[in-house]
Chain A
């Protein structure tokens, strides 16, 4: 299994507070992705990265920002969390486009 870890795995926060989720991979994968999973919606892409400091928006990027200063770390930030951002967040990475995508264990975020 690819070494992809997410932290924290569970977080409860209040509306309006900032939240940062971390994805760390030890596979030297170039490409990294953040998805959110909600009932009835499958997985939806928030942001992705195709190299250090190279990122782009996905289909549900509003309210989220990302940063990638090192190959191994991809951070997802909610500047001011809202209840609609309550979700399970998955990080994924792969070595090349068209290659197998490996997923982390997920981070469950609850915004009260």
Chain B
């Protein structure tokens, strides 16, 4: 059974600081996704990571994937208040049908002025 764990679960940080969210998963996977969710809203896709060593960046967010370590990171550079949200990673494994995405428990990020 595929397990996906994120840490930390909650992160309070000051504007301008850097930090990293970690996503560990228990078995080999085919793809890894990062999503953002604002309170009371739906999920918004941030990144799709397809292979070992993949790195993607958008603004102050950078995601990377190490399939050998079964680890993905979401790095936040010079945080701003607008980045306050809950971030989820999700791991996909092929099953020759619809494939299932297994989500981590989420990291709630609060950026304070």
B88 touches A42 (CB 8 A): yes
B42 touches A50 (CB 8 A): no
Bound together, the chains give a CA A48 to CA B45 distance in angstroms of 19
Bound together, the chains give a CA A97 to CA B31 distance in angstroms of 10
Q: How far is the CB of B29 from chain A (nearest CB, A)?
A: 11
Which residue from B30, B48, B98 sits with its C-beta under 8 Å from A33?
A: B98
Question: Which residues of chain B from 42 to 56 have a CB within 8 Å of any chain A CB?
Answer: 42-43, 45, 48, 50
A45 touches B100 (CB 8 A): yes
Set of chain A residues within 8 Å of B102, measured between Cβ atoms = 45, 59
- Interface of chain B, main secondary structure: strand
A98 touches B88 (CB 8 A): no
Chain B interface, number of residues (Cβ within 8 angstroms): 25
B97 touches A50 (CB 8 A): yes
Bound together, the chains give a CA A22 to CA B56 distance in angstroms of 35
A98 touches B99 (CB 8 A): yes
B42 touches A90 (CB 8 A): yes
B45 touches A104 (CB 8 A): no
Question: Which residues of chain B from 7 to 65 have a CB within 8 Å of any chain A CB?
Answer: 30-31, 33, 41-43, 45, 48, 50
* B binding-site residues for A, Cβ under 8 Å: 4, 6, 30-31, 33, 41-43, 45, 48, 50, 88, 90, 92, 94, 97-106
